[in-house]
């Protein structure tokens, strides 16, 4: 009899071991949402482009080349001017002619075609900062021509190459800022929810106080006081902290609510009865349970910071040259003449767009997946 009981108990334990972990459950639900997968792919694509930007960039993104300033984006052709098909894609150069109103106008110079080659040798760089290489994804072998898939800027730098490089700043700054805000938000949220009482009251008043600041105007005011003379790294860290400063409140509130409801549950009481310290209860039992919320808030805070950073940099009070972010690259669009003649200088916006959309899709998918025990 006793033996039988023992057997069934061990069977229960065995079955429990076969249970899928929380991670597997989340992944299973996440996988079902096509749009979340798409978002994840968009984000990964941008991160890869940013990390290996030198490889994807046909030209050195920081070298000035005054002879090729403001060239429109080249069109990739397969069929030439005579209607013949070529397997290898090629481009035509641009030349400027005057139209009937004597305004300059760009037309393709079909007299010479420049075939595009893949894995060509070009400018020297160090992959990941230490592997010397000179191979690039695509480029021209003809030294007379240049290829600008998104056009070139005032100083003749390839906008595509620069956009890949700018991804490093734009993505890492938003990630860094979000991580700071998540760290602050979850620590304060857990403390506030766990200890309750006066600590909680003061903390919540403080959260309300921070929340009543107008976000964008305050960001502008804070970014405007960063002196131009600071070195790049300091500007980067301070800008990230500025963004973190106002965005931790949302998470602090959510974590607090979650901890408040978990504090009285049986497993926490049991842990306390067994003599677990406050730290152990917080970090072993409470904090892991708020992690799903944290990750969702993280993915949804990043796009907000990307948008704000690009706007501030566009105004010229955020990131400054020689650092590049997507917003910095669009600065020239402030002058109406420049914009009117060279509309392609706003093309970095596509990168912003993909980044924001990707993180939002990912965040939405994670939000649905973070609680895999409910039935949708």
SS3 318: coil
- Among 225, 274, 375, 376, which residue sits at the site for other proteins (rule: CB under 8 A)? 225
Please give the Cα distance from 261 to 290 (Å, whole number): 11
Considering the rule CB under 8 A, would residue 70 count as an interface residue with other proteins?
Answer: no
**Closest CB to other proteins among 183 and 315?**
315
Considering the rule CB under 8 A, would residue 41 count as an interface residue with other proteins?
Answer: no
Please give the Cα distance from 56 to 60 (Å, whole number): 10
Tell me which stretch binds other proteins (CB under 8 A): 26-34, 263-271, 277-285, 356-364.
Answer: 356-364
Tell me which stretch binds other proteins (CB under 8 A): 56-64, 91-99, 140-148, 306-314.
Answer: 306-314
Considering the rule CB under 8 A, would residue 48 count as an interface residue with other proteins?
Answer: no
Considering the rule CB under 8 A, would residue 311 count as an interface residue with other proteins?
Answer: yes
- Min CB(360)–other proteins separation in Å: 6
- Min CB(275)–other proteins separation in Å: 40
- Min CB(315)–other proteins separation in Å: 7
Residue count at the site for other proteins (CB under 8 A)? 36
**Closest CB to other proteins among 58 and 73?**
73
- Min CB(109)–other proteins separation in Å: 25
Tell me which stretch binds other proteins (CB under 8 A): 45-53, 77-85, 188-196, 330-338.
Answer: 330-338
Beta 104-127 vs 77-79: how paired, if at all? Answer: unpaired
106 CB-near residues (< 8 Å, 6+ apart): 72, 94, 95, 96
Considering the rule CB under 8 A, would residue 321 count as an interface residue with other proteins?
Answer: no
Q: Which long-range contacts does 280-289 make (Cβ < 8 Å, 24+ apart)?
A: 281/194, 282/190, 282/194, 286/190, 286/193, 286/194, 286/259, 286/262, 287/186, 287/190, 289/258, 289/262
* Residues 180 and 239: beta-carbon distance below 8 Å: no
- Among 183, 199, 339, 370, which residue sits at the site for other proteins (rule: CB under 8 A)? 339
**Closest CB to other proteins among 190 and 329?**
329
SS3 content of the chain, % helix, strand, coil (to 5): 60, 15, 25
Q: 40-69: buried (b, 16+ CB within 10 Å) or exposed (e) per residue?
A: bebbeebbebbbebbbbbbbbbeeeeeebe
Angle at 347 between CA 316 and CA 312, to 5 degrees: 20
Please give the Cα distance from 219 to 329 (Å, whole number): 20
Which stretches of the chain bind other proteins, using CB under 8 A? Answer: 208-209, 212-218, 220-222, 224-225, 227, 303, 307, 310-311, 314-315, 317, 330, 333-334, 336, 339-340, 343, 346, 349, 352-353, 356-357, 360
């Amino acid at each position: 009899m006793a033996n039988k009981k023992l057997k069934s108990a061990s069977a229960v334990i065995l079955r429990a071991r076969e249970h899928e972990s929380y991670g597997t459950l989340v992944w299973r639900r996440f996988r079902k949402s096509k749009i979340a997968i798409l978002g994840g792919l968009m984000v990964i694509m941008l991160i890869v482009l940013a990390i290996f930007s030198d490889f994807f960039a046909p030209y050195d993104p920081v070298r000035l080349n005054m002879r090729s300033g403001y060239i429109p984006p080249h069109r990739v052709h397969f069929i030439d001017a005579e209607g013949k098909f070529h397997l290898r894609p090629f481009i035509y150069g641009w030349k400027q002619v005057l139209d009937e109103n004597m305004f300059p106008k760009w037309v393709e110079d079909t007299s010479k075609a420049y075939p595009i080659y893949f894995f060509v040798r070009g400018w020297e760089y160090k992959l990941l900062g230490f592997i010397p290489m000179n191979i690039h994804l695509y480029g021209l072998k003809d030294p007379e021509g240049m290829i600008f898939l998104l056009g070139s800027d005032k100083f003749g730098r390839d906008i595509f190459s620069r956009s890949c490089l700018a991804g490093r700043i734009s993505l890492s700054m938003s990630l860094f800022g979000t991580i700071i805000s998540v760290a602050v938000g979850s620590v304060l949220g857990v403390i506030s929810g766990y200890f309750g009482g006066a600590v909680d009251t003061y903390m919540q008043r403080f959260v309300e106080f921070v929340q009543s600041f107008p976000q964008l105007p305050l960001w502008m005011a804070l970014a405007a006081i960063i002196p131009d003379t600071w070195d790049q790294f300091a500007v980067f860290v301070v800008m990230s902290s500025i963004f973190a400063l106002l965005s931790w409140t949302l998470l602090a509130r959510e974590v607090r609510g979650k901890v408040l409801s978990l504090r009285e549950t049986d497993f926490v009481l049991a842990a306390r009865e067994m003599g677990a310290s406050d730290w152990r209860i917080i970090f072993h039992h409470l904090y892991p349970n708020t992690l799903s919320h944290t990750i969702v808030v993280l993915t949804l805070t990043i796009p907000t910071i990307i948008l704000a950073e690009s706007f501030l940099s566009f105004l010229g009070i955020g990131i400054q040259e020689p650092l590049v972010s997507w917003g910095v690259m669009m600065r020239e669009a402030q002058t109406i003449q420049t914009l009117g003649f060279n509309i392609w200088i706003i093309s970095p916006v596509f990168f912003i767009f993909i980044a924001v959309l990707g993180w939002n899709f990912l965040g939405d998918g994670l939000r649905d997946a973070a609680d895999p025990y409910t039935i949708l």
